[in-house]
Structure 1
Amino acid sequence: MAAQDYSARHLSVLEGLEAVRKRPGMYIGSTDSRGLMHCLWEVIDNSVDEALAGNGSAITVLLHKDGSVEVGDKGRGIPVDIEPKTGLTGVEVVFTKLHAGGKFGSGSYAASGGLHGVGASVVNALSERLDVEVDRGGKTYAMSFHRGEPGNFADGAGVTGESSKSPTSAFSPFVSGSELAVVGKVAKGVTGTRVRYWADRQIFSPEATFSLEDLVTRARQTAFLVPGLAIEIRDERGDEPVEQRFHYEGGIGEYADFLAPDEPVTETWRVVGSGTFTETVPVLQENGHMVPTEVERTCEVDIALRWGTGYDTTLRSYVNIIATPKGGSHQAGFETGLLKVLRTQVEANARRLKVGTDKLEKDDVLAGLTAVLTVRLPEPQFEGQTKEVLGTPAARAIVSNVLTKALTDRFVSTKREDKTQSGIVLDKVVAEMKARISARAHKETQRRKNALESSSLPTKLVDCRSNDVAHSELFIVEGDSALGTAKLARDSEYQALLPIRGKILNVQKASIADMLSNSECASILQVIGAGSGRSFDLSMARYGKVILMSDADVDGAHIRTLLLTLFFRYMRPLIEDGRVFAAVPPLHRVVVMNPGSKPNDILYTYSEKELHGLLSQLEKQKKRYQDPIQRYKGLGEMDADQLASTTMDRKHRMLRRVRVADAASAEKVFELLMGNDVAPRKEFIIEGSDRLDKERIDA
């Protein structure tokens, strides 16, 4: 900004916003992509607040090619009249004054997300350029800002269209007074606001970008939380525009079903209630003095929850539809109330559930739970401007009381459906408690035993001699015939063997109780010795590597998939730490015949393609080989030397490490291949049937 363009009136406009530019992290958390997205949430939340107040039911978000973003709504439109205290239009007040807006007890918003009143002004301060258009009273008003200062951009004389707008266009700040220009007309009754801004690269790091994935996730979440609200996203940054639209009528009950990672064991329960509390807040009087005033607040609570077959917990909490990923008083009240009710009910049914004196813990209750918790209250207290933690103390007691009353009524209900569902929940949480207690006992007894100690490990385990966990290996082998060969082929110093009989239980479909009662699954958990599920402790694992060694046929692949399902569902840290491997036994043994007394060469191949390539190469070299070529249909067909040199000897073997790059996508794959829903699996098999090698099917 040139010195001659800097007049006294700009001091009042920029003195607050300069602080934002100097310390942006105080307001948006960081200046990377996360902070960039936070600015976008601030603008979107203002439009959502309009929808929450019953004004407008559609929001559009447009990501332009030039890196700018535009958010539009059909709300009431920002006020365009003069605000008496400042003498500025409502638009300029909203975008240039910190802690100004319609959300400070004025009655315009009963409960809103953007509550600190710094959202729009902070975004403006951190934007190289911001344009706002307001439809109101039959006219379209417009104003532009450059790094928080109002003025005019010279967007190429005679050039029309969106492409002419640029943050680098010549800028002229207003000197004597700001002008809210009338740039068009709209039909009577049409209202709304459109905000387009270019993030300031003096503030944000060059690699900071708007994440379409995060935007889609947030838009979907908001559409669930505000039933009837339609949110449309259009991304024009790529070669082809990407459009997505979200619109749901089912509210948080539908959201809980969407979030759930497992099959349900209960229906989705809905808990609705409210409570009142008083708090003392400073209120600005006409004479400019702040006077502490006691006001009564109402806190509305809406909860959807359901238990599933798994043990993972999915809990999302919101305050006035703003996500609180780090929880706060409302989430603490939810967990306290839930634990209190279930402890009371378990004690009341102790004889039927056979629990003795054991007490439920929070993790027992939360295992397999999917819940969406929302509270709505005026002027909530957040810890920090990023609004990730709710601080309002009264919310804890109100949420706990609402949940306690509703769940207690359900558990003591005499209706058949309620009694059935309640019984299922009690059985599940007690099973989790018993599994936790059992896991703790196992950890004490399942440490690596030395030669002088007794061991309660399965008798079929062929253990190794070494106590060095890092270098030890557990081979899970298919069948007793393979076990006999593997015993002779292994290095007994550090390689242990555990045989399994055929195909183990498909744990994706089974409950945790069924899994624990299955002898093969229980043996694997016991031998690895680190527990299962949420109680799994990687540091207690008895082996450095777990290697799945199954036949190189379709049945072997199926067994390997079943084993991987067990590891993914109940021992996932082993996979995440890169300690689960699949052995790669050869498919073919080719004996190359050498002339004279020279010993024949033995070559192994691992696929049909590799075999054909090898045979072609031998024919070119005019070398003879024994025909027919031996094809291994199982590990038992190999002798010990062959199995050792190809599959078990560290110097010559090949292992495939099992990785989980994306747990969410892996979960979807396991659910597709191993879950209860048959139709998608059938489609997957039909689509992939052309790629199947029919020779690999034993018929």
Structure 2
Amino acid sequence: MVTAEYSAHHLQVLEGLEAVRKRPGMYIGSTDSRGLMHCLWEIIDNSVDEALGGYGSRIDILLRDDGSVEVQDRARGIPVDIEPRTGLSGVEVVFTKLHAGGKFGSGSYTASGGLHGVGASVVNALSERLDVEVDRDGKTWAMSFHRGEPGEFAGDGPDAPFTPFATASKLRVAGKVAKGVTGTRIRYWADRQIFTKDARFGLTELEQRVRQTAFLVPGLELVIRDERAEEPVESSYHYEGGISEFAEFLALDAPVTDTWRLTGTGTFTETVPVLQPSGALVPTELERECAVDVALRWGTGYDTVFRSFVNIIATPKGGTHQQGFEQGLVKAVRTQVEQNARRLKVGNDKLEKDDILAGLTAVLTVRLPEPQFEGQTKEVLGTPAVRQIVSNVVNKQLHARLTSTKRDDKSQASQVLDKVVAEMKARISARAHKETQRRKNALESSSLPVKLVDCRSNDVTESELFIVEGDSALGTAKLARDSEHQALLPIRGKILNVQKASISDMLSNAECAAIIQSVGAGSGRTFDLSGARYGKVIMMSDADVDGAHIRTLLLTLFFRYMRPLIEDGRVFAAVPPLHRVVVINPGSKPNETIYTYSEQELHALLAKLTKSGKRWQEPVQRYKGLGEMDAEQLATTTMDRSARTLRRVRIEDAEGAARVFEMLMGSDVAPRREFIVESSDDLARERIDA
């Protein structure tokens, strides 16, 4: 039972942590799943900082089935000796004192992910129970906390009776270890008084972050074990290639260049308060060193993939290091374009940052002691001097690459310059087109495809574009459509697989060009959703394997070159029926028509009719394609807004979707074959329409 009385010892321990419990958002950003995950990152990052210093090569993260999470490392172990200023053990100082630890001044860490020194203590304050075990000096030392307060639990779990220490804390000896064995194990239960009911540890998010860390710390193995399901799941991440391998992993398009590595260092002075032995904080001017490491490569696509890190901590909202990277990148490329202006036919046009970033995949890491972050969540780097250091390194190193006389470097540099200039010309052309463009129908404009059967309405929200497979289906669809709001565009069979093809091949393909012209919003980086001529784009193909293949090819086109359409929920797949069953009613009552959409649904319907004693016309009509339907049947089942069924295409995870498209539709055959072989057992024969 938790005591309600507090001694001076309690007050001393809890005076800082109570502030954390009252305002958790100041320290972890939020109290939902994002905040819960942030607490876990704080504990993991402490172990990673040890690995960065060369201590420990493996970290285990265990998601327990009782709601707790445990992080184990084999590093030096938290100090267990008495800290002289507080009279507390090192373990208690780390877990109960804000702004305490080995990451200040010039102590144990030259560069670490944490600056604020509040990570472990904040997690402790926001945990219903936290147990820590330290292997050090031949012993296993242990200590437990209840919502930040040290004491002893009489049992397992957060609901066990708890007795706080009254006068002095005790670091108990829980066992013995072999000489030289060191490490730390931290297990905690998040406090449900603080976090929302639906807050939970997301395995996918955890795996992404752990994989990222494994790339950033070459040689470090991170293992995740999820014990929350009936069958525990374990995954391991270990990479030796560093950020070069990370950039190759992130890149989804075919390469224009190899992965280039740009490295360098710079120094700056910074005035910081340094804690003196007397306990006073004295402003002191220190010289800092900032190490810069960049891996980048250009690809054939137009998407930009950029990741930035400070001492392996992700900074998704950028900061001074990202500003410096972009500044140095733009300066180096602009200089080379100006020097090659005649060959590239640039004229008086000027490159912009987005022209250079198109198709670029880059990983930027900087390492420096005591980085200044904007807030404890560490999403933005604020150290001002880092900007110029990164800019100088990137400009100098990239200039050397672009002017290299080596055959491979020279060829790749030429391709990069050609690419960025092409992007610039496409941007200028798109802007000029947008300024003169207005909504036109087929009678007003000859730029629309000849085979487009447009609708009369100019109301974008109400208009629909049906992409129809084949001319036979087009003829029926013309009679079945609502000509006021529904436009038709026929395509001949299977369009080009744009995942494999170049942009020029895609634009020169008649079917792809017709779709892009009909939508009217451009393509690629210049795609402007506000220029789309239709509120819905509906793929209407046959309900067979070939129809599914056509939908996949169309989705590949939309995903790669018109992705905002999918993100805005404007792309749909029509759901035509497979069977038409005419139920014979007795007497003069008209027969009833029922449509089914799968073999399983048909058999269930026929069994139901048999049980009810009803008859149906034989044979049951099986549609081999949309062209077999008459206009009334097509309108009723597929085009009439009041009766049809549409499947909206969504993107929940753009990065994951990109990988699936590359695997299924890309040039690399081996991963696709491996996927087909591994997934064959999961595919029911009934799902194949043959």
TM-score by length of 2: 0.91
1:391, distance to aligned residue in structure 2 (A): 0.2
Structure 1: how far apart are the matches of 2:508 and 2:41?
Answer: 48
1:121, distance to aligned residue in structure 2 (A): 1.8
| Structure 1: gaps of 5 or more residues | 156-163
The reply to whether residue 530 of structure 1 matches residue 521 of structure 2 is yes
Residue 61 of structure 2 aligns with which residue? 61
Alignment of 1:174-185 (within 5 A): 174-185=165-176
In the alignment, is the contact (CA less than 8 A) between 1:284 and 1:291 conserved in 2?
yes
- With over 3 angstroms needed to count, the CA separation of the structure-2 counterparts of 1:626 and 1:68, relative to structure 1, is closer
Residue 88 of structure 1 aligns with which residue? 88
Structure 2: how far apart are the matches of 1:633 and 1:173?
Answer: 75
Structure 2: how far apart are the matches of 1:226 and 1:694?
Answer: 44
Matched AA of 2:466: F
In the alignment, is the contact (CA less than 8 A) between 1:443 and 1:531 conserved in 2?
no
| 1:469 match: secondary structure | coil
Q: Could you tell which deviates more after superposition, 449-458 or 536-545?
A: 449-458
- With over 3 angstroms needed to count, the CA separation of the structure-2 counterparts of 1:184 and 1:445, relative to structure 1, is same
In the alignment, is the contact (CA less than 8 A) between 2:476 and 2:631 conserved in 1?
yes
Q: Output one character per residue of 1:461-490: Cα deviation in whole Å (capped at 9) or x when no partner.
A: 222221111221212223344434433443
- With over 3 angstroms needed to count, the CA separation of the structure-2 counterparts of 1:352 and 1:478, relative to structure 1, is farther
In the alignment, is the contact (CA less than 8 A) between 2:465 and 2:488 conserved in 1?
yes
The reply to whether residue 383 of structure 1 matches residue 412 of structure 2 is no
Residue 236 of structure 2 aligns with which residue? 245
Alignment of 1:295-374 (within 5 A): 295-374=286-365
- With over 3 angstroms needed to count, the CA separation of the structure-2 counterparts of 1:559 and 1:63, relative to structure 1, is closer
Matched AA of 2:160: S
Q: Could you tell which deviates more after superposition, 640-649 or 172-181?
A: 640-649
- With over 3 angstroms needed to count, the CA separation of the structure-2 counterparts of 1:473 and 1:205, relative to structure 1, is closer
1:127, distance to aligned residue in structure 2 (A): 2.3
Structure 2: how far apart are the matches of 1:599 and 1:150?
Answer: 81
Matched AA of 1:48: V
1:122, distance to aligned residue in structure 2 (A): 1.7
Q: Could you tell which deviates more after superposition, 551-560 or 271-280?
A: 551-560
Residue 428 of structure 2 aligns with which residue? 437
- With over 3 angstroms needed to count, the CA separation of the structure-2 counterparts of 1:288 and 1:232, relative to structure 1, is same
1:453, distance to aligned residue in structure 2 (A): 4.8
Structure 1: how far apart are the matches of 2:392 and 2:70?
Answer: 42
| 2:49 match: secondary structure | helix
Residue 515 of structure 1 aligns with which residue? 506
In the alignment, is the contact (CA less than 8 A) between 2:584 and 2:614 conserved in 1?
no
The reply to whether residue 211 of structure 1 matches residue 202 of structure 2 is yes
In the alignment, is the contact (CA less than 8 A) between 1:552 and 1:586 conserved in 2?
yes
- With over 3 angstroms needed to count, the CA separation of the structure-2 counterparts of 1:595 and 1:12, relative to structure 1, is closer
In the alignment, is the contact (CA less than 8 A) between 2:25 and 2:31 conserved in 1?
yes
1:376, distance to aligned residue in structure 2 (A): 0.3
Structure 2: how far apart are the matches of 1:624 and 1:72?
Answer: 67
1:300, distance to aligned residue in structure 2 (A): 0.4
Of the candidates 248, 263, 274, which is equivalent to residue 257 of structure 1?
248
| 1:355 match: secondary structure | coil
The reply to whether residue 425 of structure 1 matches residue 416 of structure 2 is yes
Structure 1: how far apart are the matches of 2:349 and 2:553?
Answer: 34
1:180, distance to aligned residue in structure 2 (A): 2.4
Equivalent pairs, count: 687
Residue 29 of structure 2 aligns with which residue? 29
Residue 110 of structure 2 aligns with which residue? 110
- With over 3 angstroms needed to count, the CA separation of the structure-2 counterparts of 1:129 and 1:612, relative to structure 1, is closer
Q: Could you tell which deviates more after superposition, 390-399 or 123-132?
A: 123-132
Q: Could you tell which deviates more after superposition, 245-254 or 644-653?
A: 644-653
Q: Output one character per residue of 1:316-345: Cα deviation in whole Å (capped at 9) or x when no partner.
A: 111111111111111111122112222222
- With over 3 angstroms needed to count, the CA separation of the structure-2 counterparts of 1:358 and 1:28, relative to structure 1, is same
Residue 160 of structure 1 aligns with which residue? none
Structure 1: how far apart are the matches of 2:341 and 2:190?
Answer: 60
Of the candidates 662, 677, 681, which is equivalent to residue 668 of structure 2?
677
In the alignment, is the contact (CA less than 8 A) between 2:545 and 2:688 conserved in 1?
no
Matched AA of 2:250: L
In the alignment, is the contact (CA less than 8 A) between 2:466 and 2:487 conserved in 1?
yes
In the alignment, is the contact (CA less than 8 A) between 1:592 and 1:626 conserved in 2?
no
- With over 3 angstroms needed to count, the CA separation of the structure-2 counterparts of 1:4 and 1:216, relative to structure 1, is closer
Structure 2: how far apart are the matches of 1:484 and 1:3?
Answer: 82
Q: Output one character per residue of 1:236-294: Cα deviation in whole Å (capped at 9) or x when no partner.
A: 23323222222211111111222223333322111111111111112233444333221
Alignment of 1:281-300 (within 5 A): 281-300=272-291
Of the candidates 498, 501, 504, which is equivalent to residue 492 of structure 2?
501
- With over 3 angstroms needed to count, the CA separation of the structure-2 counterparts of 1:640 and 1:353, relative to structure 1, is farther
Q: Could you tell which deviates more after superposition, 8-17 or 684-693?
A: 684-693
Matched AA of 2:525: R
1:296, distance to aligned residue in structure 2 (A): 0.8
Structure 1: how far apart are the matches of 2:629 and 2:2?
Answer: 85
1:640, distance to aligned residue in structure 2 (A): 4.6
Structure 2: how far apart are the matches of 1:496 and 1:479?
Answer: 15
Q: Could you tell which deviates more after superposition, 214-223 or 410-419?
A: 214-223
- With over 3 angstroms needed to count, the CA separation of the structure-2 counterparts of 1:406 and 1:611, relative to structure 1, is same
